[in-house]
Every structure is written in C-alpha cells, then in structure tokens.
Amino acid sequence: MHYRRLGNSGLKVSALGLGTNAFGKRADYEASKQIIHSAIDNGINFIDTANIYAATESEKIIGQVLEGQRQHVVLATKAGLVRGAGVNERGSSRFHLQTELEQSLKRLKTDYIDLYQIHTFDPETPLEETLRALEDMVRSGKVRYIGASNYFAWELMKALGISDRLGINRFVSTQVSYSLADRTPENELVPMCLDQGVGIIPYFPLAGGILSGKYSAAEQAPEGSRAQTDPSFQRFIDTKTIALGENVAKLAGQLDCTPSVLSLAWLMHQPIVSTVIVGATKVEQLKENLKSVSLQLTADTEEELQKISRPFRTGEPFAWYRLP
C-alpha cells in the first residue's frame, strides 16, 4: 500500500480508502465486517463514513467491528446534511454539530474522530460559527483534523481565509465528486486546493459504475445497478458517458486490467488527490480495487485518458449534495 499526506497535514492516509455508504444497506454486518478486516489486512487505513449513511447503521457497524482495532485506522465521518424534521437537525451550526459529534462518537465506540467533515456548506450559518465550533472540538481532543465536503471553491477559500484570520485550524481536505466522468473540479477547486494545500478526497470515483464498463445502453441497465435502483441516475447514462465507459474499457484491456482499476489508478496519479474512497459490498470487490494502487500509468496512457475524458471538464458535476 502507498500512503500520502492528507493535504498539508502530517497525517498519512492510504492511497485507496474504504467508503462505507453500503454498510447496513447493501452489505449486512457480516459482509461489512469481512470487508473492514480485509481492508486493514491489506494496508488500507482510511475508513470514511457519515452520520446519515444507512440511517446511522454504517457508523454502528464500524464501531462494533473496530473494537480492539481502532488504533489501526484513520476514521473519518461527517455531519451537516439533514438528520430529522426538527429545525436544528441539519446544517453546521454549533448546536447541530456538537449534538451530532457526540452521537457519532457513541455509535463508533470511540473517544475521537480522526477527520471530522462538514458534509455540505450551510448558507444559513456563519462560517465563523462553524469553524469556531470545530476548533473547540479539536482543542477538546474529540476531533484531530477537520475537512469539508461539497463546498464550492469560493466557499472553501472563504473558510480557509477565516481560519487564517482567527488563527485556528483549517480544513485539511475536501470531498467532491471527481472521476474521468466528472472532471469539473479541475476548473476551480483543484487549482485552489493545490495553492492552499488542501487534499482532495474523490467520491463517486467510478461515476456510479459508468467507469466499470457495465453499461452498454441506458435501457439495458444491469440487474441491481444504480441506474435500476435510482431512477434519477438515468440522466447520466447517455451516448457520451457510454462511449467514455467503452473507451476506458478498451484501454484497460490493452493494459490487462479492469476499467475500474484503471479509473481508480488515474485518480491516484493526480497530485492533489490524497486518498480515493471506494465502496464495496463484498471482499472480492475490495481486492479487485486494490490492484489500482500498484498499477503504473505511462505518459502515453495518461495522455489518452486525459483526451477521452476532456469533454467531462465542462457541464454539471456528476454529484453535488447541498442542503434543500
């Protein structure tokens, strides 16, 4: 396994991280347990979850599985998206964040969170309030590093400026949809993060399966695929994305690897990327994804991938989670 610094911090994270959105939904406790153990055994130390994943079941499962092994992982979770119908059950106010942190700590059966991330920008809460609340969490020892997610470049830059002015901890990372099928972060967010020393953690690195080569037509979505389970996902399945998937698959065949492995390896070769989080519902998927860590890309391969994915630098982001 290769390890990288998380942004400009001194924290080292595995190039491949484990996403746990499926835990408690498409992966039951036993399957999730096997995946976590396999991840740790193979050198993955970054595990990412959130307070809303599977209605809190993801955090609960991770907490149970990690008992006795907590010190071997960098544990990341998030808060800020809607948790309930109450007026204060959303956003990044001090009130909501402190409540959610305490509940996450209980579910995760731990005294501290290595990376506590704001799940999305809250337009109704002053950034200074959010950042001071996070600073207090760090000073208390309950949080070690702080990160953002789903922030526009200007929102993230504003937050960093406030932290610098106040002399408090800055966001060391940000999560965003980033893949060969969604290169929109390269327009503003990537240059800003390179300048400010903020690490990017891509989510949807396989664009919901588009880059796995499984789609040949929108009306022929594979059984159990995201296009079948999420009707809104159909908007991404068109001739352009299908062609991209086919081109990536063709190039992967020449390199004797799967399209998924090639797509993950491309992200890992981007200097701004700290770790790539990929979910799994069974150990076999995780072991296949691990091959991306050791895949070396030649200059010609990188140039070809840049070429076939260039149209995806424009248009709408593949995913973007904001408060309603």
User: pLDDT for 121-163, tens place per residue?
Assistant: 999 999 999 999 999 999 999 999 999 999 999 999 999 999 9
Residue 51 pLDDT: 98
Q: Where are the alpha helices (DSSP H) in 269-319?
A: 283-289, 291-294, 299-309
Residue 225 pLDDT: 54
Residue 220: pLDDT band by 50, 70, 90 thresholds? low
List, in sequence order, every residue forming a beta bridge with 175; answer none if it has no partner.
149, 201
State the average pLDDT over residues 243-272.
96
Cβ(278)–Cβ(268) below 8 Å: no
Q: Is 215 a catalytic residue?
A: no
Domain 3-313 has CATH 3.40.50.720: no
Inform me whether the pLDDT recorded for 217 exceeds 60.
no
Residue 254: pLDDT band by 50, 70, 90 thresholds? very high
| Whole-prediction pTM | 0.94
The residues near 240 (Cβ < 8 Å, ≥ 6 apart) are 311
Residue 278: both structure tokens together = 């990929």
State the average pLDDT over residues 298-323.
94
Residue 248: both structure tokens together = 């990536």
Nearest to 234 by CA among 217, 248, 246: 217
Residue spans of the domains in the chain: they are 3-313
Q: Where are the extended beta strands (E) located within the chain?
A: 3-5, 12-14, 16-19, 46-48, 74-79, 113-118, 143-149, 171-177, 199-203, 276-279
Q: Write down the catalytic residue from 29, 53, 203, 215.
A: 53
Residue 184: both structure tokens together = 């929109």
Query: Distance between CA atoms of 107 and 51, rounded to whole angstroms?
Result: 9
* DSSP symbol at 109: T
